[in-house]
Amino acid sequence: MHFLLYVCLPTEEAKTSLQARRKVAGYLSEQHFCGERRFCGVGDYFSVGGRHSGMLELLRLRQQQPVVFDRFLKRYYGKMLTKAAAISLFKKTFSPAKGNLPPICRDDDFLGQEDDAQIMDRVLFRALKAGFGEYVKYRFAFEKPCVIFTALDEDDWCDASNVIGKQWVVPIDFHD
């Protein structure tokens, strides 16, 4: 199964989205997040964004338009839509929104897309705060999130002044 993890990286460690995505992928590799051997790591493999590419934009839409977003989600998950039909539904619902639906994988690029690393702002902080923690938990999209930090201690997580504008957020698709 595919799960969603958000990893936060201090902004001083990366100047661009690509640098942040590379640093997070390197951090997860160094920490043996995934392994090719049986029972090694949290999952078999991971990628930045992956099936959850565009999730940060979807979190913004969910915060900005909760009723419309929930209606969209029910219609999207309630039907077996083709890629074209899903994109059409998304554009009709959120026009002129940017981004893409996470299950409609954009490209199979291991490092994801430009919008798969964004600097934490108030909207993302509100959407993700409930999931801040030290350990990886197996979460699906649109459940309570799982968010880990590469360099913050537990005492610093809940203080918005330590996070907003100071952390990159990178969604990770991982398989177990």
pLDDT above 90 (res 16)? yes
Tell me, what's the pLDDT at 148? 93
Q: What is the pLDDT of residues 93-142, one digit of tens each?
A: 887 655 555 555 455 689 998 999 999 999 999 999 999 998 899 999 88
At residue 34, the pLDDT reads: 83
What pLDDT does residue 176 have? 82
Please report which confidence band the pLDDT of residue 85 belongs to, taking 50, 70 and 90 as the band edges.
confident
Q: What is the pTM of this model?
A: 0.89
Quote the domain boundaries for residue 143.
2-35+42-175
Q: What is the mean pLDDT of the chain?
A: 86
Q: Residue 39's pLDDT band (boundaries 50, 70, 90)?
A: very low
Question: What is residue 96's predicted lDDT score, i.e. its pLDDT?
Answer: 65
- Whether the pLDDT of residue 38 is over 50: the answer is no
Q: How confident is the model at residue 77 (pLDDT cuts 50, 70, 90)?
A: confident
The Cα–Cα gap between 105 and 36 comes to: 23
CA distance 25 to 139: 19
Of all residues in the chain, what percent carry a pLDDT higher than 90? 47
| Cα gap 79→48, rounded to integer Å | 27
For residues 154 and 170, which has the higher predicted lDDT (pLDDT)?
Answer: 170
For the chain, what is the domain count? 1
Backbone dihedral angles phi then psi of residue 112, each to the nearest 5 degrees: 70, -160
The per-type count for the chain, helices as H runs and strands as E runs, is: 7, 5
